[in-house]
Chains A and B, each alone.
Chain A
Amino acid sequence: MKRLISIKYVVVSIVILVALWQFAFTISDYSEALFPSPFMAFQALVEMIADGTLIASIKASMYRFIIGYGLSVIIAVFLGLILGSLPRVFNYVNPTLQLLRPISPTAWMPFVVLLFGIGDLPAIVIIFIAAFFPVLLSTVAAVSKIDDIYFRVSDNFGIKQPALMWKVILPAAFPGIANAIHLALGSAWIFLVAGEMVGAQSGLGYQIIDARNNIRADILLATILVIGLIGLLLDFLIGLAEKRILKAWGGES
């Protein structure tokens, strides 16, 4: 029943979006080539699926995303666990992190392209940067907020590093870390597209630039929709994984 109701919300919400779009299309003076209707975008989508360009783009983008985001999360959590356990070392690292953190990942783009050229790497680097700082800083914060009693208990029972790290510190900090990993997924996906628009010759971001160059607004809008849908799907999947682990570690189900 609950599921049915939430499906109702989704359907109504999307119908409204399409209706507004159709309405804007009907009253607008732009040529169809520049501002297509929902149906034209849908046709473009079908065309892209049929000729295989969409799948190729998604493959290219997902590859970069998984490498960039995956590496970023693994390294950030690993470093965060260590820095969180060594507050005195973190005091020296923190100023630099605070300096780098507010810089938009796109600001690095020209520099990254200069260094690595056009290809997979710029997008991967941008995604890496986008996810890295929030996950690292949240992990450090989550570790430093761990209740002292867990350390007393571990100390008392002779649990020492490295066992302490994965038996106590990681699970105790996990809710905070998982939350950051989840949030970072959204921004990483956003910056993937930005990265591919500038630094790649394939992928969903590049497809948008390509569509613009060919004045194919229908393909452009269809691609944007696909980007949104995949973002939604990724968010749903990571939410699922997060819940699973939290449940396995005794959290509220």
Chain B
Amino acid sequence: MSYIHIENAGKTFEENGIEFTALSEVNLDIEKGEFICLLGPSGCGKSTLLNAIAGFDLVNHGSVQISGKEVTSPSTKNVTIFQNYGLLPWRTVVKNVELGLEAQGIDKKTRREKALEYLKLVKLEDFANSFPRQLSGGMKQRVAIARALAVEPDIIFMDEPFGALDAITRMKLQDDILDICKNEKKTIIFVTHDIDEAVYLADRIVVMTPNPGKVKGVIPVPLHHFRDRTSGDFLLVRDKIFDLLNMKQEDNIEYTI
């Protein structure tokens, strides 16, 4: 069985007695080391699916398993990076990065060394003693990335992590995250509504549509980590996504290019 195995996963919310299906019959298998993008318009259940895999908000139909074990709560082995960074404003940058290490019972000195090492990785070692409010959005998200990497997680979940950033900063961070992935070889599940971002980053793109939220198709991106935003291949994958999002096709077509 695959590393992450999602079978018939569904999620309904009840509000004022009315049942609302946010996610319906999702079947998905993800292998170790894959970079997966969940792509789709707002409201299609991307966050719902991500939170279900991360263990924050469980599904109420079907099952979500990681390494053969049903997900029941967030795990310290898998870290989530949020759109609004989730940094603790009362802690300095380096103390933020140390947060996850504190719970692991690592001694103070090692903790600090490790935190600084990961801050260096995201090129923020000069800001170790700044507070989050003194940083730009892009820098804050890099701190969050360093904090996630510092605990050496198996999976990193990201929910529109660059959504609040300007286009140029976003592209820089996309390159950074690809670089880091190449070196650290993590499994990454990345939510975005930006088609270009998905094509640029993902090994496979899970295209989702709303009402009810479901997986419309999974598109492999055969560009590996040699990407050019203007190449023909890039545009080809983009076209496939447009097709999938605009045209009424049968569910769950696996595209191969």
Contacts and interface: CB of A to CB of B under 8 A. Distances in A.
Interface of A: 149-150, 152-153, 155-160, 163, 167-168, 171-172, 174, 249-252
B132 A156 contact: no
B64 interface: no
A250 B100 CA distance: 19
B90 A172 contact: yes
A152 B74 contact: yes
Nearest to B134: A250
Name B's interface SS.
loop
Interface string B19-60: 000000000000000000000000000000000001010000
Given A149-B84, A149-B86, 5 more contacts: A156-B79, A156-B80, A157-B76, A158-B103, A160-B103
Nearest to B76: A158
Nearest to B101: A157
Given A152-B80, A152-B82, A157-B76, A163 B102 contact: yes
A159 B99 contact: yes
Given A152-B86, A171-B88, A172-B90, A157 B100 contact: yes
A64 B31 CA distance: 67
A250 B74 contact: no
Nearest to B157: A156
A12 B35 CA distance: 69
Name A's interface SS.
helix
Interface in B89-108: 89-92, 99-100, 102-104
B104 A158 contact: yes
A159 B132 CA distance: 20
Given A155-B74, A163-B103, A150 B86 contact: yes
B175 to A, nearest CB: 26
A25 B133 CA distance: 55
B31 to A, nearest CB: 23
A181 to B, nearest CB: 17
A159 B88 contact: no
Contacts of A150: 86, 88
Given A156-B74, A157-B76, A157-B79, A174 B90 contact: yes
A160 B133 CA distance: 26
A143 to B, nearest CB: 15
21 contacts: A149-B82, A149-B84, A149-B86, A152-B56, A152-B74, A153-B86, A155-B56, A156-B76, A156-B78, A157-B99, A157-B103, A158-B100, A158-B103, A159-B99, A159-B103, A163-B102, A167-B102, A171-B88, A249-B89, A250-B89, A250-B131
Interface in B58-84: 73-74, 76, 78-80, 82, 84
B173 to A, nearest CB: 19
Contacts of A152: 56, 74, 80, 82, 86
A157, A167, A172 — most chain B CB neighbours (10 Å): A157
B79 to A, nearest CB: 6
Nearest to B56: A152
Nearest to A154: B99
B84 A250 contact: no
A200 B233 CA distance: 88
Contacts of B103: 157-160, 163
